[in-house]
Amino acid sequence: MEHSEIIKLLGHVEKLNTKYYNLLKEAIEKRDSVKFVSRLLNNDSKETNCPYCKSALLNKWGIRNDIQRYKCKMCERTFNTLTGTPLAHLHKKGRWLSYAECIKNGLSVRKAAEKCGVNKTTSFRWRHRFLINETEIRPKKLTGIVEVDELIFAKSEKGCRTLSREARKRGFGSSKYIPSDLKVFSMFCRDRSKNTTDRVYYKFGADKIKSELQELITSDSLFCSLDKETYLRYARENGVRHAVLSISKGELIKKDIVHINNILIYQNKLKSWISRFNGVSTKYLNNYLSWFRAIDEFDFRITSEIILLRAKRPEEYNTNHFSKHSKQMAAAT
């Protein structure tokens, strides 16, 4: 656009009424949001590799929709920084950041759709595209005193077109009233450094949790749980150091350090948080548990930028990364 045309355009701005001024302002904010999101996703601290052959020998291949494209020298295929990520092929990039804010605040699908000006089906699709990587962000090891406990959810086929069972009223009032064939178990493990992991099981037993706990708990850790047969059998068969608490005997804490208070507090916060969704489909339960785990990881101070970056590349953007980045910024200033 020529300079004279810009001056003429600026002169017309003063003549706009409130309606058209707000439309112009909204268009400018939308463009700024697109630019900001593109810059955020392009400025990746990790070296870019070809998503097809993993080669690092690349040429820049222009910019399309404000996203840098590359061409691989080995396989000669072109791609951008979002290729192979859950954000690939999603439209309306200017609204991603505001939708990430909705995820941060735990809004429902419909409320998020209304706030971001998208259809509810788009809102649902975006939610699980943004959250799918969160299921991969788990601690590899838990150290020290490791607290373990499980929650029971009712199997839900919410959103399914056909049911594999008789229709029923949602909810059972209490987990003890849930029929055994409709129970879904979620086991939570948490150490005293607040590193937490969880896993969903349709059948719960010592054999099921063996591989999970063997990978998580180190040999010098203390496995702490209630006196449930599943945990007693696992510890007995695998020679794990096991501290047992019996609620029936009033044992809530032993020797001032052996307890499962941390995991119980975490579970209570989770139950309070997840209740806003009025039931979660079992096939998406892992996503919701991971969603809350991310919020807890950042001590409820997670930002929309972090959510967006973790949706693109989960292995790099964690609390250690951002605390290190904050220290570097503080030292620079």
The model's pLDDT over 62-87, given as tens digits with 9 standing for 90+, comes to: 988 888 899 999 999 999 988 988 99
Q: How far is CA 331 from CA 207, 298, 327, 328, in A?
A: 50, 22, 6, 5
Give the integer Cα–Cα distance in Å for 260 and 149. Answer: 8
List, as one string, the DSSP characters of 216-282: HB-TT-EEEEES-HHHHHHHHHHT--EEEE-TTTT-S-BTTTB--HHHHHHHHHHHHHHGGGSS--G
| pTM of structure | 0.81
Residue 162 within a domain: yes
Give the integer Cα–Cα distance in Å for 223 and 243. Answer: 6
Sequence-separated (6 or more) residues with CB below 8 Å from residue 9: 1
Per-residue pLDDT tens listing for the chain (333 residues): 566 766 766 666 666 777 766 666 666 666 667 788 888 888 765 678 899 999 999 999 998 888 889 999 999 999 998 898 899 999 988 899 899 999 999 999 999 999 999 999 999 999 999 999 888 888 888 989 999 999 999 888 888 888 887 777 766 766 667 888 888 999 999 999 999 999 999 888 888 888 888 888 888 889 999 989 999 999 888 888 899 998 777 778 888 888 999 999 999 999 999 999 988 999 999 999 999 999 998 888 888 888 988 888 776 565 555 444 444 433 433
> What six digits make up the tokens of 277?
């969704």
DSSP 8-class letter at 142: B
Residue 187 within a domain: yes
Residue 60 within a domain: no
Residue 250 within a domain: yes
- The total domain count for the chain is 1
* Domain encompassing residue 195: 140-300
Residue 12 within a domain: no
Residue 281 within a domain: yes
Residue 125 within a domain: no
Q: How far is CA 182 from CA 205, 254, 268, 270, in A?
A: 16, 35, 22, 21
Residue 88 within a domain: no
The model's pLDDT over 118-160, given as tens digits with 9 standing for 90+, comes to: 999 999 999 999 999 888 888 888 989 999 999 999 888 888 8
- Chain CA centroid to CA 201, Å: 19
